[in-house]
């Protein structure tokens, strides 16, 4: 019973955390799917989102979640500009150079934050940081964190909009065409350089928005970007590189596995002394390795053929 009630709560917590993970993963996956670049600076853009919301909250007295309306367009412009100024110069260069460039961009972002805000962890206290909705099912009491539910809803809405854009609009078709075959798209009159910049912009928006959503839940430090990049990487591999639904499922799986793993194992006698909450990150990595072992293309991936 103990295991059941705590397991249910852990499932809910894991799903809600996984929602934000999904948004981070979706950005990385989208950029990879179209541009074949693994953006090693992705996590640093998440942190940039956190600090933008922090700045909005402390200097402009703006609600962190409301600041998405400002942060998202700015993130788009930033991503677009970064591609135009740096990554577009590397089109046709080796994969190594784009990887290194994205790593370098991430370093510049995190050090700029370091310079601007200092090294100490920053937190924002909102009135709704700790509010919960409580659901009573018989003797079972389930708690839904208001802020995490809101974050989940925003994530779902953004990903839904993005998906509609990809499948119905003209630019969406051009994006998909570019992802499938750059030369073919080019022959049909698609300006693939522009498409790449747009995609990098959208990827940056997803990362930064996830950062804004995370700020009221976590303390922000300038150098925490690598943690997010690693998580995003695990998520996209879980779901299959380049697959958006895969990124969403991957994010949810990671959230649930981490949460369930660290709450169930300590309740089981004989195991509790060996598998405490310390292993939280390990549970995610175990699933990651299992997927790589059994289905190397990821849960939703297709084998990528390069032209």
Partner 1 sequence: MKKSALLLITLGLSGALAQSTDTIKVGAITSLTGRFATFGKMQKAGFQVAIKEINSRGGVLGKKLELVLEDDASDTNKALAAAEKLVNQGVPLIIGAYASSITKPLSQYLTREKVPLLVATAVDDTITNPGSPYVFRVNNASKAYTQGFIELFRKLQVKTIAVLTSNDAFGKSVMKDITTLGPEAGFKIVAQDSYDQGLSDFRPILNRFKSLDPDVVYLASYEADSVTIMRQSKEVGLKPRFFAGAATGFALPSFAKAAGDAAEGTLVSVTWSDDVRYAGALRLYKSLKTELKEEPSQHAAQSYAAMLAAADAIQRAGGLDREKVQQALKKTLLVTAYGPVKFRDYDGFTNQNPVVILITQVQKGKVVTVYPDRVSEAKVMEAK
Nearer to partner 1, 116 or 121 (CB): 121
Tell me the closest approach of the beta carbon of residue 147 to partner 1, in angstroms.
9
Residue 196: which of 278, 304, 84 has the closest Cα?
84
- Quote the least distance from Cβ 125 to partner 1, whole Å: 4
We find the least distance from the C-beta atom of residue 148 to partner 1, in angstroms, to be 9
C-alpha 212/C-alpha 52 separation (Å) is 8
Six-digit token pair at 153?
């809803």
Give the nearest distance from C-beta 228 to partner 1 in angstroms. 8
Our CB check for partner 1 shows the closer of 27 and 179 to be 27
Strands 140-145 vs 132-137: parallel, antiparallel or unpaired: antiparallel
Nearest residue to 204 via CA among 29, 307, 84, 80: 80
Contacts of 289 (CB under 8 A, 6+ apart): none
**Token pair for 61:** 């007295």
d(CA 124, CA 55): 10
**DSSP secondary structure code for residue 219 in this structure:** -
* Binding positions for partner 1, rule: CB under 8 A: 2, 5-6, 9-10, 13, 17, 114, 118-121, 123, 125, 129-130, 132, 134, 143, 145, 217-219, 221, 223-224, 227-228, 258-259, 262-263, 266-267, 276-278, 280-281
Nearest approach, Cβ of residue 13 and partner 1 (Å): 5
In the complex with partner 1, the residue whose CB is nearer, 281 or 297, is 281
Smallest distance, partner 1 to C-beta of residue 184, A = 41
Question: With respect to partner 1, which residue has the nearer C-beta, 130 or 180?
Answer: 130
Whose Cβ is closer to partner 1: residue 276's or residue 296's? Answer: 276
* Interior/surface letters 213-239, b for 16+ CB within 10 angstroms, e for the rest: bbbbbeebbbebbeebbebbbbbbbbb
From CA 170, how far away is CA 63, in angstroms rounded?
Answer: 35
Closest to partner 1 by CB, 211 vs 242, is: 211
């Amino acid at each position: 019973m103990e295991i059941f009630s705590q397991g249910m709560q852990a499932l809910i917590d894991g799903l809600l955390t996984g929602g934000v993970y999904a948004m981070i993963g979706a950005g990385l996956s989208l950029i990879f799917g179209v541009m074949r670049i693994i953006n090693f600076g992705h996590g640093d853009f998440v942190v940039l989102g956190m600090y933008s919301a922090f700045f909005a909250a402390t200097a402009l007295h703006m609600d962190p979640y409301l600041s998405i309306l400002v942060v998202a367009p700015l993130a788009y412009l930033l991503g677009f500009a970064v591609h135009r100024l740096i990554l577009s110069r590397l089109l046709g260069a080796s994969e190594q150079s784009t990887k290194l460039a994205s790593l370098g961009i991430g370093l510049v972002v995190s050090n700029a934050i370091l310079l601007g805000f200092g090294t100490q962890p920053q937190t924002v206290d909102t009135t709704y940081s700790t509010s919960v909705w409580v659901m009573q099912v018989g003797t079972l009491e389930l708690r839904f964190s208001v802020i995490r539910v809101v974050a989940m809803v925003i994530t779902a809405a953004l990903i839904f909009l993005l998906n509609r854009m990809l499948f119905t609009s003209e630019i969406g078709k051009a994006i998909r065409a570019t992802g499938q075959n750059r030369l073919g798209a080019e022959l049909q009159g698609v300006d693939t350089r522009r498409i790449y910049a747009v995609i990098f912009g959208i990827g940056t928006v997803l990362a930064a928005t996830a950062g804004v959503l995370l700020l009221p839940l976590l303390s922000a430090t300038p150098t925490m970007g690598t943690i997010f990049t690693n998580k995003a990487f695990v998520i996209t591999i879980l779901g299959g590189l380049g697959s958006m639904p895969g990124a969403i499922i991957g994010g949810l799986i990671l959230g649930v596995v981490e949460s369930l793993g660290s709450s169930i194992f300590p309740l089981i006698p004989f195991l509790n002394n060996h598998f405490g909450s310390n292993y939280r990150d390990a549970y995610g990595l175990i699933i990651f390795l299992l997927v790589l072992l059994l289905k190397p293309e990821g849960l939703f991936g297709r084998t990528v053929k390069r032209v």
